[in-house]
Structure 1
Amino acid sequence: MSYLIEPPHYKPLLNAAETEQGIKVIKEFFADNLSTGLRLRRVTAPLFVRRGLGLNDDLSGTERAVTFPIKDLGDARAEVVHSLAKWKRLTLAEYAVAEGYGIYTDMNAIRADEELGNLHSLYVDQWDWERVIAPADRTIDFLKKVVRCIYEAMLRTEYLVCERFPQLHPQLPERLTFLHAEELRQRYPSLSSKERENAIAEELGAVFIIGIGGPLGDGKPHDLRAPDYDDYSSPSSLPWPGLNGDLLVWNAVLGRAFELSSMGIRVDREALLRQLRESGKDDRQQLYFHQRLLNGTLPLSVGGGIGQSRLCMYYLQKAHIGEIQASIWPDEMRSRCRELGIPLI
């Protein structure tokens, strides 16, 4: 089911040519800042992987991957990636990347089960990144350090974009606030998790919510996470567990919270076994990726994804992700967008 947010009195601040120029500036400048700040080198990534190896990200566990048979492999199935959360960690091992350094890539994916609308498309493009860490780095303080580095790159990019296009105005606050999902639940006990995100993003402008995937005080997770990449159950320096989180900003055009990035310290052997057991996914231990991790042949790492079209949409103050990327939309959505003055590509 598709869903369209209709911002009142919307008028694009950039025309089509300026929008394309803005997309180019953002993607080039931010990627350079990200790689410099986190000491990452660019690598080439796959669009699809072999089915049955445990390499594809299964997101919340319910989304179907786009699959196809490979003729020259006896019709063995391949899957179009959802993201590269696990592939990146294998690549760190294959490239023997040193501690304190990492990789990033331009990830392109197809998510056929997305609910299409202003924020979600069938086509996903993001900077997927992963960095090797030491055992001592598996802390909430180290995670915050990484998040701040990424946020500073976002601030620098916003400054450049607003200098290039004076009709745009800065939106990001100078300071990013960190809150655990349990703190957020206690702050807004009568709201759903999405309503809490809207409330805190409007209040603070930008927030990193820690602890996505593990049960909170009411026994429910803030949001779902696959059990085999982010470590959402490890104890941290806070009273509640979780070594991962989402970076949200307030989107004034749409009047709602807007997720730009999801990241986390990845599972070690102990956390993988615990989270597979708790989620009822113990059978995954036999898959290739999981065997590599359990056998100690993958490095400890921190990593995440940053939405490319999302970031461009935010900086260029667009109402629909279809103003940034070409995709397929329901006919009624295209028609309604034309009526609202939202020019979908």
Structure 2
Amino acid sequence: MTYKLYIPKNYKSDLDLGQTQYLIKEIKDFFQSNLAYKLNLLRVSAPIIVKSETGLNDNLSGVEEAVNFNILEKNKEARIEIVHSLAKWKRDALARYEIPMYQGIYADMNAIRAFEDFDNTHSLYVDQWDWEKVIKKEDRNQVYLHKIVNTIFTSLKELETFLNIKVNNYKNLLPDQITFVTSQELEDMYPDLTPEERESAYAKEKKAIFVEQIGDRLNSGNKHGDRSPDYDDWQLNGDIIVYNPILDDALELSSMGIRVSEEVLKDQLTKTDNLDRLDLDYHKKLMNGDLPYTIGGGIGQSRLCMFFLQKAHIGEVQVSVWPQELIDECKKNSIILL
């Protein structure tokens, strides 16, 4: 486990700990209520643990190991995993709860990702709003995807307006509209940069971007990023990324997308040599047509607070565990971890 820490020059937050905690709650309360209204979402309770055999856990890029333990069930051990996210659980829940067309659910998702390397924006603890909405099969297109992205971006803009009322001399960070760009277009624009460097360069220019079509191979033969093959359709997904001036870098606030159809699931599992997942309960339901067509994603709660409160480190807006060396270095540089 390693850590990397960027120290902004002459950094000192304008907010003390009490003000920070107060505004974290104000941001979360306002944003989740506004988003739920705009997307027609019902708040639901969500699991922190799932059975491995169900296939409900998010496999992320496919190589990360979930924190796990065993329980005794019917005189044999069953493996239990702490969730990485609720990407697949939500779609299954929409079917079980019989959520109507164009309505959806959202939940407070709390996860442990023990493999993360520490830096200004990454923690072992992940908190996000995980949301999912029922759509028609004919909505599985770029036009509908862009419509939902714009709705989320409008919620972000309205949060900024809200903070102008709550915080003296608040400085707006977002542009009037979000810019859409495919991962291939980014590679064409910046062929000599890494995917992360491309995002940073373009976000710095446009201030807010939606990088779409992530997961498949680009013309170069490389990938812009890894995506699990069994929830997002790689042609209809993407990340909402903003330019964060305090870190002079791109900051991903949300990963989202239209979910796989039966045909796309099989194609993407074939490409990643994961056809064995078709034997799992979740995948069987999907292939049998027992799950609705959906769009969904996750929006980082701590990252949202970090961005809008212009904090230098995610530990200033969430409580987690950090290496002692990182804690000491932060303290020396006026970065006060919660």
Please give the range of the TM-score, normalised by the shorter of the 2 chains. over 0.9
Which residue identity is paired with 1:162? N
Aligned to 1:69: 70
Per the TM alignment, residue 161 of structure 1 is displaced from its structure 2 partner at its CA by 1.5
Corresponding residue number in structure 1 for 2:212: 210
Deviates more, 1:185-194 or 1:159-168: 159-168
Aligned partners of 1:330, 1:143: CA distance in 2, in Å? Answer: 40
From 260, 266, 270, the counterpart of 1:267: 260
Aligned mate of 1:249, from 232, 242, 258: 242
Shift of 1:136: 1.2
1:89 aligned onto 2:91 = yes
CA distance in 1, matches of 2:117, 2:189: 29
Residue correspondence of structure 1 range 1-345 to structure 2 within 5 A: 1-71=2-72, 74-232=76-234, 242-345=235-338
Q: Give the 3-state SS of the residue equivalent to 1:144 in structure 2.
A: helix
What RMSD, in angstroms, separates the aligned Cα atoms of the two structures? 0.9
Q: CA deviation at 1:162?
A: 2.5
Give the C-alpha shift of residue 126 in structure 1. 0.2
Tell me the CA shift for residue 167 of structure 1.
Answer: 3.9
Find the aligned partners of 1:299 and 1:337 in 2 and give their Cα distance. Answer: 46
What is the CA-CA distance between 1:68 and the residue it aligns to? 1.3
Query: Aligned to 2:129, what secondary structure does the other structure show?
Result: strand
Q: Residue 287 of structure 1 aligns to which amino acid in structure 2?
A: L
Cα deviation for residue 2 of structure 1 reads 1.2
Q: Deviations over 1:6-56 (max 9, x none)?
A: 111111011111100110001000001110111110010001001121110
Structure 2 Cα separation of the partners of residues 176 and 296 of structure 1: 35
Partners of 1:13 and 1:317 within 8 A in 2: no
Q: Give the 4+ runs in structure 1 shifted more than 3 A.
A: 71-75
Q: Structure 2 counterpart of 1:2, which letter?
A: Y
SS at match of 2:202: helix
Unaligned runs of 5+ in 1: 233-241
- How far 1:217 moved relative to its partner? 1.1
Name the TM-score, length of structure 2 as normaliser: 0.98
Measured after TM superposition, the shift of residue 92 of structure 1 is 0.4
Q: Which letter maps to 2:268?
A: Q
Per-residue deviation, residues 232-252 of structure 1 (Å, max 9, x unmatched): 1xxxxxxxxx10000000000
Conserved 8 A contact 1:13-1:167: no
**What secondary structure, in the 3-state scheme, does the structure 1 residue paired with 2:58 have?**
coil
1:126 aligned partner, one-letter code? Q
Which consecutive unaligned segments of at least 5 residues does structure 2 have?
none
The answer (yes or no) to whether the contact 1:138–1:265 under 8 Å persists in 2 is yes
Take 1:129 and 1:279, find their aligned partners in 2: how far apart are those partners? 26
Q: Alpha-carbon deviations, 1:190-230, whole Å to 9, x = none?
A: 11111101100000000000111011111111100000000
How many residue pairs match? The answer is 336
**TM-score of the superposition, structure 1-length normalised?**
0.96
Structure 1 counterpart SS, 2:133:
strand
Query: Residue type matched to 2:269 in 1?
Result: L
- Could you tell me the percent identity over the aligned residues? 49
Which amino acid is 1:87 matched to?
Answer: W
CA contact (8 A) 1:67 1:78 kept: yes
Q: Per-residue deviation at 1:71?
A: 4.3
